[in-house]
């Protein structure tokens, strides 16, 4: 099973020396990937369903991952997730291509539709139609990456007669779809190389995997995408028993959250390696 490290751009890892140490420790330990989440702003005071206090630190994921790319050589870099409808797809396509080029083709784009209405309102993004916006934005970005003469005409994004270089190193850029709803499962099956479930114990992961199977009966999956890769961030401490339960479910990758009380991520890295190897 592949292992990833979450929060590379949050909390203690916001400091340049700590981000460097965490990224290099994960790579040295044989971890497969580094993952960066996103919230541009947070409700103040904190109200459900906000997962973070408004004063918690979070570096922009593309800046954090670009920094991590510069201090590593092999480990993959992923957004887990970027909130697509809060972004401009033309600008985001440029950012993704730039990071993929600078990292030597190591980037995975994890996407989601978002759920914090106050954040959407502050940004001026379309909250009610965020699912449809996300689908169009993905298609528009892929047009910019792969079409010889990029062109896209939709309800939420429209362009022609433009081009953008450099193109990504990877063709295609892997896309992972996050979310725990029926719509997210359908989006993952129809558009994603993988699906990402966040903070899920094995029983919740099993329910989501059943949802993905049902979605596969409802929407077509392009043959070019291959098998759907399953990524989970466990809830709570990863043990040998829970690691085995995730493996039994067919999970391909576990992305661990380092203990926020530790100054160093290495104890969390070592504990995950031990759990998976047991």
Could you report the per-residue pLDDT of 124-149, keeping only the tens digit for each? 999 999 999 999 999 999 999 999 99
Round the CA-based radius of gyration of the chain to a whole number and report it: 18
Contact 259, 9 (CB under 8 A): no
pLDDT value at residue 221: 98
pLDDT tens-digit readout, 177-197: 999 999 999 999 999 999 999
pLDDT at 12 over 90: yes
Cα-to-chain-centroid distance, residue 105: 16
| Phi, psi (deg, nearest 5) at residue 5 | -115, 120
Q: What percent of the chain has pLDDT over 70?
A: 100
pLDDT value at residue 234: 97
Closest to 1 (Cα-Cα) out of 193, 238, 190, 223: 238
Rounded to the nearest integer, the mean pLDDT of the chain is: 97
Rounded to 10 deg, the angle between the 240-249 and 202-218 helix axes is: 10
* 3-class DSSP string for the chain: CEEEECCCCEHHHHCHHHHHHHHHHHHHCCCCEEEECCCCCCCCCCCCCCCCCCCCCECCHHHHHHHHHHCCCCCEEEECCEEHHHCCHHHHHHHHHHHHHHCCCCEEEEEECCCCHHHHHHHCCCCCCHHHHHHHHHHHHHHHHHCCCCCEECCCCEECCCCCCCCCCCCCCCEEEECCCHHHHHHHHHHCCEEEEEEECHHHHHHHHHHHHHHHHHCCCCHHHCCCEEEEEECCCCCHHHHHHHHHHCCCEEEECCCCCCCCCHHHHHHHHHHHHC
- The full set of domain ranges for the chain reads 2-277
pTM for this structure? Answer: 0.97
pLDDT value at residue 38: 97
176 forms bridges with which residues in the sheet?
A: 110, 194
Q: CA 83 → CA 1, 40, 127, 161, 204, distances in Å?
A: 27, 9, 11, 27, 22
pLDDT value at residue 236: 87
pLDDT tens-digit readout, 29-86: 999 999 999 999 999 999 899 999 999 999 999 999 999 999 999 999 999 999 999 9
Instruction: Return the CATH number of the domain spanning residue range 2-277.
Output: 3.20.20.30
Burial 159-183 (b: 16+ CB within 10 A, else e): eeeeeeeebbebeebbbbbbbbeee
Structure tokens at 177: 């779809």
For residues 143-162, give the mean pLDDT: 98
pLDDT value at residue 278: 85
Is residue 119 classed exposed, middle or buried when 0-12, 13-18 and 19+ CB atoms within 10 A define those classes?
buried
Structure tokens at 15: 């400091």
């Amino acid at each position: 099973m592949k292992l990833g490290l979450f929060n590379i751009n949050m909390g203690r890892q916001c400091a340049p020396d700590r981000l460097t140490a965490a990224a290099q420790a994960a790579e040295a330990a044989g971890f497969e990937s580094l993952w960066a989440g996103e919230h541009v702003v947070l409700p103040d005071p904190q109200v459900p369903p906000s997962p973070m206090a408004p004063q918690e630190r979070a570096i922009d994921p593309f800046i954090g991952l670009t920094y991590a790319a510069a201090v590593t050589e092999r480990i993959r870099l992923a957004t887990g997730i970027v909130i697509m409808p809060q972004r401009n797809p033309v600008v985001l396509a440029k950012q993704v291509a730039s990071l993929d080029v600078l990292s030597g083709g190591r980037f995975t784009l994890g996407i989601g539709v978002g759920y914090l209405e106050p954040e959407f309102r502050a940004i001026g993004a379309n909250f009610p139609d965020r699912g449809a916006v996300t689908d169009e934005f993905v298609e528009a970005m892929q047009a910019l990456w792969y079409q010889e003469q990029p062109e896209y005409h939709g309800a939420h994004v429209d362009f022609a007669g433009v081009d953008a270089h450099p193109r990504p190193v990877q063709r295609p850029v892997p896309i992972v779809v996050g979310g725990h709803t029926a719509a997210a499962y359908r989006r993952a099956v129809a558009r994603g190389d993988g699906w990402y479930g966040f903070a899920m114990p094995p029983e919740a992961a099993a329910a989501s995997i059943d949802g993905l199977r049902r979605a596969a009966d409802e929407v077509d999956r392009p043959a070019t995408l291959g098998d759907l890769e399953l990524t989970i961030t466990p809830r709570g401490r990863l043990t040998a028993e829970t690691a085995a339960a995730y493996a039994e479910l067919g999970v391909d990758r576990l992305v661990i959250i380092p203990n926020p009380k530790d100054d160093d991520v290495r104890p969390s890295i070592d504990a995950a390696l031990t759990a998976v190897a047991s």
